[in-house]
Amino acid sequence: MKILAIGDFHGKFPDKLRNKLKKEDFDLILSSGDLADSTTLRNLEFKNWHKPESLEDIAGKNDYKHILKKMVLSMKKVLADLKSLNKPIILVYGNSDVSDEEVKKYNLGGIGRLCKSNKIILLKTNTSHVGDLTIAGFSGYRGAMSKGLTKSDKKQKKQIILINKNWEQRLKKLFKKIKFFDKTIFLIHDAPFGCLDKVNYKKSPLNGRHVGDEYFLKYIRKYHPRLVFCGHMHEYQGAKKLGKSLVINPGPASEGKCAIVDSESLKVRFYK
């Protein structure tokens, strides 16, 4: 089966890339998330990196609501562009995407509602089957503090323990559903730790550090899914073996990048 692996749109699906893909021969679209344009929110986060207040408190409720509304609209546009390719779509959401829970109090619909209205499969912690392939999707992102990449106080450390415990419980739940790992694609947003995950962005407080997810690394090494599709790290476009698994970051779609992957031969063709 030929699969379009694509993600990290951040509100942009370049016309040039989309028009090329309409002429491509593939059967399925798998997206690693980050559909929304999160530029404003990210800049706010980096500017206030060491402040204990929430971004909502820092921005103010009205401005924060406006930011989220713009992000929702950007997700809606990207989903419409993906739909125009006329192929089945399965996706997970990333840290830049807006969940239904995040925007509920503002009377907005998040990525779950958008996918449902567009008949797109959103995998949070579950599987979907296409032919003989199992797509094991795991949505979300653990922040730098939960990964131990930034300092935390006593209260935050207790919260981190709960976050990480829940994260691993979700992974256990997902992998218990899988029967044939040699026919499985693990679809995630973040990269596994140590694999295509070193920050190369001078404006980032974590520049030069490996920031991938150690729990993803643990479960990939333990169960050896055939393919792993990830994203998040805009610095990388490539494929790397991790044990028996082939990890692929298709590169950011916002920059005109993606990959066509043959699930049988494991041949990968990157759009650059």
What pLDDT sits at residue 85? Answer: 97
CA distance to 1, 73, 121, 134, per residue, from 178 (Å): 19, 35, 18, 8
Q: How many Å from the N-terminal Cα to the C-terminal Cα in the chain?
A: 22
Q: Please tell me the distance from the alpha carbon of residue 14 to that of residue 35, in angstroms, as a whole number.
A: 13
Give the residue-averaged pLDDT of 143-150. 90
**Cβ contacts of 37 within 8 Å, gap of 6 or more:** 10, 11, 12, 70, 71, 74, 96
More confident residue, 20 or 48: 20
What digits encode the pLDDT tens for the residues 154-188?
A: 888 899 999 999 999 999 999 999 999 999 999 99
CATH topology of domain 2-271: Purple Acid Phosphatase; chain A, domain 2 (3.60.21)
- CA 239 distance to own-chain centroid: 16
Give the residue-averaged pLDDT of 110-120. 95
Alpha helices (H) along 54-208 = 55-59, 61-83, 100-103, 111-117, 154-176
Q: Is the pLDDT of residue 115 over 90?
A: yes
Show me where the domains of the chain are located: 2-271
In 3D space, the residue among 248, 267, 245, 247 whose CA is nearest the CA of residue 257 turns out to be 248
Mean predicted lDDT score pLDDT of the chain: 94
**pLDDT-derived band of residue 220, with 50, 70 and 90 as boundaries?**
very high
In 3D space, the residue among 241, 192, 266 whose CA is nearest the CA of residue 32 turns out to be 192
**pLDDT-derived band of residue 53, with 50, 70 and 90 as boundaries?**
confident
Q: Is the pLDDT of residue 52 over 80?
A: no
Q: Do the beta carbons of residue 99 and residue 112 sit within 8 Å?
A: yes
Give the residue-averaged pLDDT of 99-128. 94
What pLDDT sits at residue 50? Answer: 74
The tokens for 132 are: 């003989």
What digits encode the pLDDT tens for the residues 232-268?
A: 999 999 999 999 999 999 999 999 999 999 999 999 9
